[in-house]
């Protein structure tokens, strides 16, 4: 009844290989930025948990 929602791919919508490649590159760039931000947050949290001291893990 109202058609497809905005952004939906319909049978009438053709996507070129260049568009797919560009979208893939953009997604990879964004995921890389999120991954780096998460890595920084976790490193800061770990440093705070240890009071900035290094932890040496010993095995029995």
Residue 24 pLDDT level (bands cut at 50, 70, 90): very high
Read off the pTM.
0.55
Give per-residue burial for 23-50: e unless 16+ CB within 10 Å, then b: eeeeeeeeeeeeeeeeeeeeeeeeeeee
The CA distance from 39 to 30, in Å, is: 14
What's the length of the chain?
A: 60
Average the pLDDT over 49-57 and give the result. 67
The CA distance from 26 to 37, in Å, is: 17
Residue 30 pLDDT level (bands cut at 50, 70, 90): very high
């Amino acid at each position: 009844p109202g058609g497809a929602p905005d952004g939906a791919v319909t049978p009438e919508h053709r996507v070129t290989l260049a568009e797919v490649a560009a979208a893939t590159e953009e997604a990879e760039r964004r995921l890389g930025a999120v991954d780096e931000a998460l890595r920084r947050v976790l490193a800061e949290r770990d440093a705070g948990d240890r009071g900035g001291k290094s932890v040496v893990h010993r095995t029995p």
